[in-house]
Structure 1
């Protein structure tokens, strides 16, 4: 039986055992932006019995094989994030914006929150588009370069870019929380039309993908990059 500890951080748990993400999602425990919390702290915040939840996590690990994403090189991890998560956002954000606008126009008089929902989707998309560009055009090329050679100027740029990306991830987390609140946990009312239901299903998928996306960057990619930077600094200094 795998032995986990209540002092383990939730980000590290999902980093080492990606299949646990589904359980954290169900429990509404933030393992991406809130990944530095210990399991005990996260359970206390959600009013969950920590020992019971710990046993559920251990049982899930025993029954699910783990992909080796944590073992990917820096370049391979960057490629994975771009091809899986960036591609998803570039495909889905325009669709979700259009659906949110339509639902707000048709049903906004019945539920005023739909106007706020639409505005939040638009604002989130407006934040994510330049965020992806900064990653693809500034940070990710430097991370690929870092595996090949070390340059002090690139070191400073990478460190500053990582700090910026982490701050923007926090803003994304706030927007996702607002979407969940405005939609009653992405639960459609009985009178919801099919477009409304499809929108909420799409926003739930967006939340899940962004949680995985941010987790892979905050808890896998960035620590791996920082560790490599430190190793290369030491190598250059010796």
Structure 2
């Protein structure tokens, strides 16, 4: 591992390194295309210290390090749908209720709560449409490719030309959602409620932080593992 390695590739090979990037507030999912050096330079971080932290993680044993890379694409897609898409849909309902209540009760004294609510509503709408497109179009085609490879059957060329087209769209949408969640984090001072916060206020911030962390894992699995492997498989099947 060195300073020229891309963040997304590092996390893809060992997800434990995500804790290091989170510690330094470096985006490893949407920003996974940056090198360690570029990310450190943009944030004014000591690159040698960060690299040392990553190498310390690498020294430890991690028997599950390559689990996602070793899964077949059907299993990986099903995992993303069952774990992350289900989590998003369930948590959006709960968070929307909490944030509406908190903004109504505390919004006059804490106007950022109304901004957070508006941003989260945008995130919720974006994610619901995004996941539906993934499941009905992109993921369906990835499963079709995986089955074609397993059965040795011919793969019909999709109506969107190449899988790179919907993937590019999904990555753009990932960036949009990621930027909105980053703004929510900023407005909430890193999900830190004021001392006088009621229980709903505190739970809302805790759940928002959990939601963003899950989203980082979710987007990382797609951008840095699923999508590159799907592009590679399509190239093999259609050559």
What's 1:214 paired with? 219
User: In 2, are the aligned partners of 1:19 and 1:64 still within 8 Å (CA)?
Assistant: no
- Candidates 160, 168, 176, aligned match of 2:181: 176
How many angstroms does 1:63 deviate by?
Answer: 2.2
Distance (whole Å) between structure 1 residues aligned to residue 123 and residue 115 of structure 2: 12
Distance (whole Å) between structure 2 residues aligned to residue 153 and residue 83 of structure 1: 25
| TM-score of the pair, normalised by structure 2 | 0.93
- Candidates 46, 50, 63, aligned match of 1:53: 50
Distance (whole Å) between structure 1 residues aligned to residue 235 and residue 136 of structure 2: 23
Aligned residue for 2:190, secondary structure, equals coil
How many angstroms does 1:154 deviate by?
Answer: 5.4
Distance (whole Å) between structure 1 residues aligned to residue 10 and residue 59 of structure 2: 14
Distance (whole Å) between structure 1 residues aligned to residue 51 and residue 164 of structure 2: 35
How many angstroms does 1:73 deviate by?
Answer: 1.2
What's 1:7 paired with? 4
What's 1:135 paired with? 134
How many angstroms does 1:27 deviate by?
Answer: 1.2
How many angstroms does 1:197 deviate by?
Answer: 0.7
Distance (whole Å) between structure 2 residues aligned to residue 154 and residue 71 of structure 1: 29
Distance (whole Å) between structure 2 residues aligned to residue 62 and residue 201 of structure 1: 32
Change (3 A) 1:71 1:49: same
1:162-215 deviation line (CA, Å, top 9, x unaligned): 121111111111111111111011111111111111000001011111011111
How many angstroms does 1:134 deviate by?
Answer: 0.9
Distance (whole Å) between structure 1 residues aligned to residue 215 and residue 39 of structure 2: 19
How do 1:91-102 residues align onto structure 2 when only pairs under 5 Å count? 91-102=90-101
What's 1:162 paired with? 167
Distance (whole Å) between structure 2 residues aligned to residue 61 and residue 201 of structure 1: 29
User: In 1, are the aligned partners of 2:160 and 2:166 still within 8 Å (CA)?
Assistant: no
Change (3 A) 1:80 1:147: same
How many angstroms does 1:224 deviate by?
Answer: 0.4
User: In 1, are the aligned partners of 2:11 and 2:18 still within 8 Å (CA)?
Assistant: yes
User: In 2, are the aligned partners of 1:8 and 1:39 still within 8 Å (CA)?
Assistant: yes
| TM-score of the pair, normalised by structure 1 | 0.93
Alignment length (residue pairs): 231
Gaps of 5+ in 2: 149-154
